[in-house]
Structure 1
Amino acid sequence: MDLFDECLEALGEQKEILSEELTVKYFNSLSKQFPITSWARIDWEKVKNKKRIEYSDELFKWLKDNGIADTSVIILWNPSDDPAVKTTLENALAVIDDVTAVGSDTFMYSELGYVIEFYHDGEVTVGMAN
């Protein structure tokens, strides 16, 4: 069993594995909404509405402060050939070590225009598309 399979098992029933086409679509959408550096990280200096996160309660407060109630997210990994997975933020955070183990960097992207980046150095940042 590889790390992706372990992640899927940890996420349980509350998930949807997306097609390769949808995975590409969401990566493209993410890169259109957020500035990406040459080393494939979000360029947070260019994002106005952002917050570094230390604890998950800060994340939920940021979402609430920005009027976001829907916590559906698309999990994307970079680099990875694994497909994106749709789940809830709560579900993903409950097994975050399994989720972030799949790729060096993990993005939890919402179609509502926000993203949470779990960078490989341990830094976690949430931001809203400009």
Structure 2
Amino acid sequence: MTLFEECIEALGSNIVILSEKQTHGYFEQLSGKFPITSWARIDWDKICNKKIINEIDDLNNWFNENKISSLDVNILWNNAGIPGVKTNLQNALQVLDDVLAVAPDTFMYNIEEGYVIEFLHDGEITVGLNNF
């Protein structure tokens, strides 16, 4: 079983696996809303409303401060061969180790409210809104 298959199993039945075309489209939307560096991470220096996340309470507080209510996310892995997955953020956070094992860098992108959570291979987690 691949790490992607293990992740899908851990996420359970409340998911939608995106097609290659849908995954590519969400990456296009993400890169249109957030500036991406040449090394494929978000250029957080250009984002005004952002927060480095050290623990889950930081994320919850940021959501409350920004009146974020939609927790539906598209999980996108920074690896061209892996399809994205639609799920609920709470669902993804419950099995975060499985989600992050799929590829070195992971984005959880909410199109409706315009936020992204970036999980980098070095352990850094940042959340922000697309208002650059």
Scaled by the length of structure 2, what TM-score is found?
0.96
User: After superposition, where does 1:27-38 map in structure 2 within 5 Å?
Assistant: 27-38=27-38
1:19 CA displacement: 1.1
1:64 CA displacement: 1.5
Over 2 Å off, 4+ runs: none
Scaled by the length of structure 1, what TM-score is found?
0.98
Please give the alpha-carbon distance, in whole angstroms, between the structure 2 residues aligned to 1:80 and 1:99.
16
Q: Which ranges in structure 1 are unaligned for 5 or more consecutive residues? A: none
The residue type paired with residue 64 of structure 1 is: N
- Aligned-CA RMSD value: 0.7
1:7 matches 2:10: no
User: After superposition, where does 1:31-50 map in structure 2 within 5 Å?
Assistant: 31-50=31-50
Q: Which ranges in structure 2 are unaligned for 5 or more consecutive residues? A: none
User: After superposition, where does 1:15-34 map in structure 2 within 5 Å?
Assistant: 15-34=15-34
User: After superposition, where does 1:11-90 map in structure 2 within 5 Å?
Assistant: 11-90=11-90
| 1:12-69, Cα deviation, whole Å (9 max, x unpaired) | 1111111111101100000000010000000011110000001112112111211111
**What is the aligned partner in structure 1 of residue 116 from structure 2?**
115
The residue type paired with residue 126 of structure 2 is: T
1:78 CA displacement: 0.6
Q: Equivalent residue of 2:73, what SS?
A: strand
Greater alpha carbon shift after TM alignment, 102-111 vs 54-63: 54-63
The residue type paired with residue 88 of structure 1 is: N
Q: Equivalent residue of 1:13, what SS?
A: coil
Please give the alpha-carbon distance, in whole angstroms, between the structure 2 residues aligned to 1:30 and 1:60.
22
| 1:56-107, Cα deviation, whole Å (9 max, x unpaired) | 1211211121111110000000124111000011000000000001111000
Matched positions, count: 130
User: After superposition, where does 1:95-106 map in structure 2 within 5 Å?
Assistant: 95-106=95-106
